[in-house]
């Protein structure tokens, strides 16, 4: 299992634990997430590309894995994902640039799977 797939598994395990430990709170969060991520004025691919940029800006490897995979699944190309991630670098500078590393790892792992 690759590093980014491991990150996705860690997310699933965390959600599972929180469903037992904090059922009302995690249910509310997951409902909110599901509602916000529905296609609307922006389609799913556009939203996932925004999320890639935000994940890089937030410096969250789990979020990067989740949203690079989501963007690919929604039909985004590698170039679209890299451009979205670079928007975070534009706004957040060098620290965000370093988080292009897990973006590249996720792209390599999820497009070669």
Q: How far apart are CA 11 and CA 63, in angstroms?
A: 9
On the CB side of 42, CA atoms within 13 Å amount to 12
The residue range of the domain holding 97 is: 3-111
User: Would you state the pLDDT for residue 8?
Assistant: 97
Number of domains in the chain: 1
Secondary element (H or E) of residue 8: helix 3-21
On the CB side of 111, CA atoms within 13 Å amount to 15
User: Would you state the pLDDT for residue 76?
Assistant: 98
User: Would you state the pLDDT for residue 113?
Assistant: 60
Give me the CATH number covering residue 39: 1.20.1290.10
55: which residues sit within 8 A by CB, 6+ positions away? 63, 64, 66, 67, 88, 99
Q: Running along the chain, 113 residues long, what does each successive block of 10 average in pLDDT? A: 96 98 98 96 98 97 98 98 97 95 96 80
Instruction: Report yes or no: 77 and 48 within 8 Å, Cβ to Cβ.
Output: no
pTM of the predicted structure, to 2 decimals: 0.94
């Amino acid at each position: 299992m690759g590093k980014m797939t491991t990150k996705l598994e860690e997310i699933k395990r965390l959600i599972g634990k929180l469903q037992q430990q904090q059922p009302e709170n995690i249910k509310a969060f997951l409902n909110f997430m599901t509602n916000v991520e529905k296609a609307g004025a922006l389609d799913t691919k556009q939203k996932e590309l925004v999320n890639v940029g935000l994940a890089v800006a937030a410096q969250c490897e789990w979020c990067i894995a989740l949203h690079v995979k989501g963007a690919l699944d929604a039909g985004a190309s590698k170039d679209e994902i890299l451009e979205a991630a670079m928007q975070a670098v534009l706004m957040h500078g060098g620290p965000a640039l370093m988080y292009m590393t897990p973006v590249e790892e996720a792209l390599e792992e999820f497009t070669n799977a």
